[in-house]
Structure 1
Amino acid sequence: MTTARHIVTLLKSHIAGDEDRFLSIAMQLAAHEARQGHGKLAQELKDLVDAAKSRDARIAKSSRPVPLFQPKGELAGLLHVRYPDLRLTDMILPDSLRSRLHRVLGEQRQQASLREHGLVPRRKLLLVGPPGSGKTMTASALAGELHLPLFMIVLDGLITKFMGETAGKLRLVFDAMQA
């Protein structure tokens, strides 16, 4: 990518509010400058990106949302709620999956703009895969990026030997999510 393309992409990511992409392009620009023999400029860019990342980490930790919803009663044994710190940049993902997840994040961050054009952002996302493939980690990263709570069902509290009881507990969980 040429320097001019870097600048255009930097501006687009800034306008879209995609800070991760912005910092990624800034690092690419620093690498480009280093390859051109501009070591001092490359180091200055890298230092600025590192400072921005550490600032974001401090802000994220100091401005953690206050958990408004804590399961009570029977729900306490069925749901676990937390506010994850994980970000998409912490994950190693194929480019195709990373771009899809960034699109979902972009939709959530640009809700007002979408609504102005008669569109609505996705409200549901189905993560499918075998055990250990990263479904929960992906959900945690998305919740962390959007500063939203992550609700996880405690399966051993949900499933009982009586089918009707399990269905009733499942109904409680879904009713709580609708509220």
Structure 2
Amino acid sequence: MKRINLNKSIFVTALVIGALVVISFSNSSKSKKVTIDYKSSVVSYFGTNSVTKADLVKQAKLIDIADRRFETKWKNKNPKGISEEYIVEGAVFMKPGVKPRLGRADIEKEFTESVKGVDRVEFYQDELEFYGEMDVAFQRCHMLGFVDTKKEHTFEGSYIILWKKENGKWLIHYDMFNSDK
């Protein structure tokens, strides 16, 4: 049997996507889907629980609040605070051109550098999907980065986040982004 060596970021990306596919199809015959519009995005639930549209709105608002916390911590140049938006064990941050950052300490180091070059970021959710017991969520968004002396954004990109609820709080498990320009 031939062994294939995958780049770690490709492996992690494939693992996340594979996990989402397994979640989506594991109970497809029993699966329920509930969908709402939230701000400028679509929010859905895929699973076997009875979930109301009000449940979706409540959880979507909590993730929206988490996105705003992240933005505020960035603007305040608080890389330790940013790293605390990730799960305690097993957090992964991936950006183009560098190896994945694993764990809060490594993620804090990454954002220590990132907040130096970009004064603030803005996140815009395009899609949010909840799974299982509404304790896992997949978010697809786009973002803009600004240097405060300029009125126009200095970069833009897309990202996906796999959220996990820990102790009642939505935290980032996997964070992957690309810079479009």
More helix, by proportion: 1
Give the number of the structure with larger relative contact order, counting CA–CA contacts within 8 Å between residues 6 or more apart.
1
TM-score by length of 1: 0.26
Greater Cα radius of gyration, structure 1 or 2 = 1
More strand, by proportion: 2
TM-score by length of 2: 0.26
